[in-house]
Chain A
Amino acid sequence: MELANIENLLEKYFEATTTVQEEQTLQLYFSQDNVAPHLQEYQPMFQHFANLRGEQSTRNVPLKPRKNYLKWISVAAVFLLTTGLFFNEWNEQRLASEAFEDFKTTMTMVSKNFNNGASHINHLNQFTETTNKIFITENN
């Protein structure tokens, strides 16, 4: 590349009227060793641009956003809470009705036995009847 052309391009470069291709020509010129002495002060600039172009990101991209995770946890928490409350309510009802059933059977048993006992007591009437008969005849 002839020097005059480079100088010309450099002039245009600082006015920002060069094309990308022309800038690549400049890059190429300044990346080699024999740069004309009066242009050497521009070398670090282009050198630096070339260095920066080589920088690379070293971290991998984890495509698992934490946002989603949190969302599902909250959904699960709400579900657990509602089922827990529902279960609690249902359990209480079940316990109450169970106790009621227990009480009912006990009470039926008691009343059955009571009636049973009461029917036996009826036989005692026999004594009253006979004593009455005796007293009545004696008094007469």
Chain B
Amino acid sequence: MKQADFLQMVMPFKDKLYRLAKRLLVSNEEAEDATQEVLLKLWSKKTKIGTYSNVEAFAMTMTKNYCLDKLKSKQASNLKLVHSNYKDENTSLQKEVELKDSVSFVHQIMDELPSQQKIIIQLRDIEQYDFEEIAKVVDMNPTAIRVALSRARKYIRQELIKKHNYGIS
């Protein structure tokens, strides 16, 4: 397999790897490192790539494992929190400010979730994978995934409502 072929195969899901890594590792730099590491590993196994049934799911699993290892290791204690820039919305100014505020609050809530739920939310609500695809990555059965997903979504809702009612953040 040539380098160009490999890049062509990898490019469609490179950003998905990055987003999953970023969800777990928070820092932009760490996520870029993780993506690079996973792609290099994949490249070094290029002769075997034809035997994988689903390269994307395989790469996602590698990313997940890499990030969880990273979190377990000591280096995780040096992670910085990086704020993302949120897009402008076409709502009125006051509403916009309010919404921005709530949106970054959602981010905070998501950071509080356990890694497993973070991964599932990321794969489902952001990458819109179906349950079979998620099952390949996280190695759980669809029922367990559904329960975890429901729990994570309800947790976000509950925290949002709490904030809505008391105005605390």
Q: Which of A41-49, A73-81, A96-104, A130-138 is near enough to bind chain B?
A: A41-49
User: With A48-B103, A59-B35, A65-B40 known to touch, is A42 a contact of B160 (CB < 8 Å)?
Assistant: yes
Find out whether the CB atom of B126 lies under 8 angstroms from the CB atom of A53. yes
9 closest Cβ pairs, A-B complex: A44-B102, A57-B18, A16-B150, A48-B106, A16-B149, A16-B146, A59-B32, A44-B103, A49-B125
Find out whether the CB atom of A43 lies under 8 angstroms from the CB atom of B99. yes
Q: Is A121 an interface residue (CB 8 A)?
A: no
Q: Is B128 an interface residue (CB 8 A)?
A: yes
How far is B59's CA from A57's CA once the two chains are assembled, in angstroms? 15
Find out whether the CB atom of A23 lies under 8 angstroms from the CB atom of B157. no
Q: For A13, what are the chain B residues with a Cβ–Cβ distance below 8 Å?
A: 153
Q: For A2, what are the chain B residues with a Cβ–Cβ distance below 8 Å?
A: none
Q: For B157, what are the chain A residues with a Cβ–Cβ distance below 8 Å?
A: 14, 42, 45
How far is B41's CA from A67's CA once the two chains are assembled, in angstroms? 11
User: With A45-B157, A59-B36 known to touch, is A33 a contact of B128 (CB < 8 Å)?
Assistant: no
Q: Is A116 an interface residue (CB 8 A)?
A: no
Count residues of chain B with CB under 8 A from any CB of chain A: 51
Within 8 A of B (CB), among A19-70: 19-20, 23-24, 33, 41-45, 47-49, 51-59, 61-63, 65, 67
Q: For B149, what are the chain A residues with a Cβ–Cβ distance below 8 Å?
A: 16
Pairs across A and B, CB under 8 Å, 22 listed: A14-B153, A14-B154, A16-B147, A20-B130, A33-B91, A41-B161, A43-B102, A44-B102, A48-B110, A49-B126, A51-B84, A51-B103, A54-B87, A56-B15, A57-B14, A57-B15, A57-B18, A57-B32, A61-B40, A61-B43, A63-B43, A65-B40
Q: Is B39 an interface residue (CB 8 A)?
A: yes
Q: Which of B2-10, B47-55, B64-72, B73-81 is near enough to bind chain A?
A: B2-10
**Shortest Cβ gap from B160 to chain A (Å):** 6
Find out whether the CB atom of B146 lies under 8 angstroms from the CB atom of A55. no
Find out whether the CB atom of A61 lies under 8 angstroms from the CB atom of B36. yes
Find out whether the CB atom of B84 lies under 8 angstroms from the CB atom of A55. yes
Considering only CB atoms, which chain A residue lies closest to B44 in the complex? Answer: A65
Considering only CB atoms, which chain A residue lies closest to B33 in the complex? Answer: A59
**Shortest Cβ gap from A137 to chain B (Å):** 112
How far is B113's CA from A97's CA once the two chains are assembled, in angstroms? 81
Considering only CB atoms, which chain B residue lies closest to A68 in the complex? Answer: B44
Find out whether the CB atom of A63 lies under 8 angstroms from the CB atom of B40. yes
Considering only CB atoms, which chain A residue lies closest to B102 in the complex? Answer: A44
**Shortest Cβ gap from A42 to chain B (Å):** 7
Find out whether the CB atom of A65 lies under 8 angstroms from the CB atom of B43. yes
